[in-house]
Amino acid sequence: MNQRTPVRLPLALWAGVTALLLVAPTLVVIPLSFTERRSFSFPIEGWSLQWYERFFTDPRWYGALGTSIAVAIGAALVATVAGTLAAIALDRARLRYGWLIRALLLLPVVVPQIVAAVAIFGTYLGWGISGTPLGLLLAHIVLAIPFVVIPVSTALQSFDPTLERAAAVLGAGGWGRFWQVQLPLISPGVITGFVFAFVTSLDEVVIAYFLQTPTLRSLPVQMYSSVTVETDPTIAVASSLMLVFSTIVILLPRFFAARRRRLLKAKETP
């Protein structure tokens, strides 16, 4: 290792403040979710699980959770298949307008959410799919495609093309090469893409807000209206669950990676 620049105290302190700013504010939702009163106010005087009970018994809440999960799974599956195929085509064929197609596929991340939302609302209204599960699903698929294309393209860049030649000369046809060699080797990128797509759909508020009907509400939209229309501490429960979920998503792969490293180390020094 080359010598390390010493970390000066002011820098460390400022970074500590930043870390606190990043993480601490969101944590406030956890105590709020156990409050006894029907308000968001502090300090919390009595504790109860009533809002958790409500979350899992009130059809508006667990229904919204079900809608969100169903749409997120559907959108992530379709976006992962479509995005992976597109990334493969863009990687292999040196298409003259490949950059243009790539730019098109990445467009949904660049366009400001509010513009996408009102545009999609206006058009889907005309097509009669606003307020339907299909409309929400289509919007979320499109929004999630860039989040698949990016990690799969990265995985493809580190894929050694001579492996495909080797597979071909050893007798594997197009399908065999794809299923037995290429897909297993880019699968980390595909899985990452699926997770990105799933979380993107699960968290999306603005489009879902414009496409909602009283019967079709995703969880974030239900949360939104529980702040604006009524003061319902069940939102704190939903927020806490979301926070726990995202923490698991972040920590799980790191946990497995650390365990694999430990196992490898143990294998080397029996």
- Dump the DSSP string for 151-173: HHHHHHHTS-HHHHHHHHHTT--
In degrees and rounded to multiples of 5, residue 47 shows phi and psi of -110, 145
3-class DSSP state of 237 = helix
CA dist., res. 108 & res. 114, Å (int): 12
Say whether residue 92 binds other proteins (CB under 8 A).
yes
Among 76, 117, 136, 155, binds other proteins (CB under 8 A): 117
The answer to whether 155 and 188 have CB atoms below 8 angstroms apart is yes
Angle, helices 133-157 vs 98-110, to 10°: value is 130
Smaller CB distance to other proteins: residue 73 or 172? 172
DSSP annotation of 233 reads T
Positions in 48-77 near other proteins (CB under 8 A): none
| Piece of 45-53, 56-64, 141-149 that binds other proteins (CB under 8 A) | 141-149
CA dist., res. 13 & res. 192, Å (int): 34
| Piece of 48-56, 57-65, 164-172 that binds other proteins (CB under 8 A) | 164-172
Smaller CB distance to other proteins: residue 185 or 191? 185
Say whether residue 223 binds other proteins (CB under 8 A).
yes
Say whether residue 199 binds other proteins (CB under 8 A).
yes
Count, residues near other proteins per rule CB under 8 A: 110
Q: State the CB neighbour count (10 A cutoff) for residue 259.
A: 10
Amino acid sitting at position 252: L
| Piece of 47-55, 58-66, 106-114 that binds other proteins (CB under 8 A) | 106-114
Smaller CB distance to other proteins: residue 48 or 159? 159
| Piece of 45-53, 58-66, 79-87 that binds other proteins (CB under 8 A) | 79-87
Say whether residue 228 binds other proteins (CB under 8 A).
yes
| Piece of 45-53, 54-62, 101-109 that binds other proteins (CB under 8 A) | 101-109
Smaller CB distance to other proteins: residue 57 or 160? 160
Say whether residue 263 binds other proteins (CB under 8 A).
no
Measure CA of the first residue to CA of the last residue in the chain; give whole Å.
28
Residue span 8-47 as binding mask against other proteins, x where in contact by CB under 8 A, dash where not = ---xx-xx-xxx-xxx-xxxxx--x-------xxx-----
Please list, residue by residue across 141-172, b when 16 or more beta carbons sit within 10 angstroms of its beta carbon and e when fewer do.
Answer: bbbbbbbbbbbbbebbeeeeeeebeebeeeeb
Say whether residue 252 binds other proteins (CB under 8 A).
no
Say whether residue 171 binds other proteins (CB under 8 A).
yes
